[in-house]
Amino acid sequence: MEAEHEEAMRSDFREQASLQARTYQAGVTETEIGESFSKVREIHSRWNSGPHADQWQYLSDAYEDFRDRPDTMDRFLDNVEFNHAQGWDGGLDEVQRRSLHQAKELTEPQRVRPRGRIQRER
């Protein structure tokens, strides 16, 4: 994948994720939701049927995995990075490695933050 194609893919995926997140915000109208989903389908269709469909699918899967199983994916990414530092690619190419990082970055704001301990007065 050429650098300019990867850059376009990452930008489009960021936009797609933003559009999807926007539909869950308070005050969004049905019309706005419909427009967002229409744009999401357009973006996905363009990449899913293009020459880089495998890379798009890998990024999409990584995003879903980080969203659904963040702790597991954090451990997986740590292992990927450890192996990469040792000179072993683990079967991943550089685009896939960067996709893991992008997926993590995009899902971090959605992660539930642990609540602090509640202090009660006596």
pLDDT at residue 99, as a whole number? 98
**pLDDT tens-digit map of 78-105:** 999 999 999 998 889 999 999 999 999 9
pLDDT at residue 102, as a whole number? 98
42-57: average pLDDT: 96
Answer yes or no: is pLDDT of 59 > 70.
yes
Answer yes or no: is pLDDT of 111 > 80.
no
Give me the residue spans of the domains in the chain. 3-108
What is the DSSP secondary structure assignment for residue 108, as one 8-state letter? G
Ranking 9-13, 36-40, 60-64, 112-116 by mean pLDDT, the lowest is: 112-116
Cα-based distances in Å from 33 to 22, 28, 38, 56: 8, 7, 9, 23
Nearest to 6 by CA among 106, 76, 93, 78: 93
| Distance from C-alpha of 83 to C-alpha of 79, rounded to nearest angstrom | 6
Nearest to 6 by CA among 112, 96, 106, 108: 96
29-41: average pLDDT: 95
Contact status, residue 33 vs residue 73, Cβ threshold 8 Å: no
Answer yes or no: is pLDDT of 68 > 60.
yes
15-43: average pLDDT: 94
| Distance from C-alpha of 54 to C-alpha of 9, rounded to nearest angstrom | 12
